[in-house]
Amino acid sequence: MKETVETDAVVVSKATALPKRKASEPFLIPWESNENGGLMMSITYLKGYFRGQDSLTKVKFDLDFEHSVFDNHYEFEVKVSNTEKYIVSISLTSAFMKVHCSCNDNKKGLCQHAYSLIKDRLRDNKFYFKHLYNEQWNYPNQQQRKLFKVLVANVFSRTPKVILEAVAGLGRIYSYPFDKSSPSLLDVRFHFEELAQNEKQKRLVFAIPIDNDINGLPLLMPFLSRDRRGNTFQSSYLFNENLPQPETLTSYELALDAVARQMLKISELSSLDVVSQDERWGRKQKLMNLWCDVIVNYLKNDDICFFESNRKNYDVAEIVLRNSSTNVYKKLKIGGEDFKINIRVIESLQGLLVEVLLYYKGVQVKSPKFLSSKHSFLMKIGNKTVLFIDDFYIEQVLNKFKHSDFKVFVLKQDIECFYEDIIKPLLERFPVQFSSFRPESDYMSTSSVEMLRILDLNVSDDYLHLEAKVAFGDIAVPILDYQNPQILWSCDNQLMVAKRNYNEELEFASFVASQHELFNDESTSHSWRLPLVSIAKTSWIERLKRSCRENQIKLNLDRIQLGSKYYPYEPKWKVRDVLTHGNFLHIQLSFNLGNLSLDLSGFERYLFDKKNWYIVNSDQYVYISDSLRSMFIPLFSQGRIEGEYLVLTSAQCLSFQAVLEKIDPSIINEGLRSRREKLENMKEIPLVSVPATIKATLRPYQLAGLSWMAFLQEFQWGGILADDMGLGKTLQVISLLEYYYERNPNSGPSIIIVPNSLLFNWQNEFQKFAPAREIVIYHGTKRKDISELGEGSVVLTTYGTAMADVLFLRNLVFSYMILDESQAVKNRNSKRFEYLYDLKSSYRIAMTGTPIENGIQDIYAQMTLVNPGFFGNYRAFNNAYKGIAQEESRDETLGSLQKMIQPFMLRRTKMQVALDLPDKMETTLLVDMLPAQRKVYDKYRKIYQGEVADNLNSADPSKSKFVAMEALNKLRQICNSPALLKDESFNSDSIKLDQIEEILSEVVPGHKVLLFSFFTSMLQLVEERVKAKEVGYAYLDGKLSQQQRQEAVERFQGDESCRVFLISLKAGGTGLNLTAADYVYILDPWWNPAVEVQAIDRCYRIGQEKHVNAYKIVCKDSVEEKILVLQEHKKQLADGLILDETNLMKTLSKEELLKLFD
| pLDDT tens column, 75-91 | 999 998 888 899 999 99
**Among candidate residues 533, 560, 587, the one where a domain is terminated:** 560
The reply to whether 881 falls in a domain is yes
Does residue 990 sit in the same domain as residue 1111?
yes
The reply to whether 236 falls in a domain is yes
Domains of the chain: total: 6
Does residue 813 sit in the same domain as residue 785?
yes
Mean pLDDT, rounded, for 30-37: 82
User: Has residue 379 got a pLDDT over 90?
Assistant: yes
| pLDDT tens column, 739-760 | 999 999 999 999 999 988 788 8
**Among candidate residues 619, 646, 679, the one where a domain is terminated:** 679
Q: Which of 298-312, 424-438, 502-516 has the highest mean pLDDT?
A: 502-516
> Which of these, 476, 504, 502, lies nearest to 489 by C-alpha position?
476
| pLDDT tens column, 406-464 | 999 988 888 888 888 888 888 778 888 888 766 677 766 555 567 889 999 999 888 99
Long-range contacts (CB closer than 8 Å, 24 or more residues apart) made by 960-968: 960/1153, 961/1145, 961/1146, 961/1148, 961/1153, 964/1145, 964/1153, 964/1156, 965/1141, 965/1145, 967/1157, 968/944, 968/1119, 968/1123, 968/1156
Higher pLDDT, 73 or 213: 73
Alpha carbon distance 606, 594 (integer Å): 13
Alpha carbon distance 754, 766 (integer Å): 14
> Which of these, 907, 906, 903, 892, lies nearest to 655 by C-alpha position?
903
DSSP secondary structure string, 99-158?
A: EEETT---TTSB-HHHHHHHHHHHSS-TTGGGGG--GGGGS--TTGGGGEEEEEETTTSS
Does residue 675 sit in the same domain as residue 696?
no
Assess contact for 130 and 31: CB atoms under 8 A. no
What pLDDT score does 847 carry? 94
Does residue 656 sit in the same domain as residue 695?
no
What pLDDT score does 182 carry? 54
Mean pLDDT, rounded, for 1008-1034: 92
Does residue 1052 sit in the same domain as residue 1091?
yes
Does residue 870 sit in the same domain as residue 901?
yes
What pLDDT score does 792 carry? 92
Does residue 782 sit in the same domain as residue 872?
yes
Average pLDDT, the chain: 81
| pLDDT tens column, 240-291 | 777 777 777 788 888 888 888 888 887 776 555 555 677 778 888 888 989 9
pLDDT band of residue 492 (cuts 50, 70, 90) is: low
Does residue 1004 sit in the same domain as residue 1136?
yes
Q: Which of 151-160, 729-738, 824-833 has the highest mean pLDDT?
A: 729-738
The reply to whether 849 falls in a domain is yes
The boundaries of the domain holding residue 283 are 204-268+277-332
Strands 27-30 and 60-63: unpaired
Does residue 656 sit in the same domain as residue 702?
no
User: Has residue 721 got a pLDDT over 50?
Assistant: yes
CB atoms closer than 10 angstroms to residue 835: 19
**Among candidate residues 127, 147, 167, the one where a domain is terminated:** 147
Strands 385-388 and 905-906: unpaired
Assess contact for 827 and 855: CB atoms under 8 A. no
Burial 767-796 (b: 16+ CB within 10 A, else e): eebbeebeebbbbeeeeeebeebeebbbbb
What pLDDT score does 735 carry? 96
| pLDDT tens column, 770-812 | 999 999 999 988 788 888 888 999 999 999 999 999 989 998 9
Does residue 941 sit in the same domain as residue 1042?
yes
511 Cβ partners below 8 Å, 6+ apart? 547, 551, 553
Using the 8-state DSSP alphabet, how is residue 40 labeled?
Answer: B
Alpha carbon distance 881, 898 (integer Å): 11
Lowest mean pLDDT among 62-71, 421-430, 517-526, 570-579: 517-526
| pLDDT tens column, 539-556 | 899 899 999 999 999 999
The reply to whether 44 falls in a domain is yes
pLDDT band of residue 5 (cuts 50, 70, 90) is: very low
What pLDDT score does 573 carry? 92
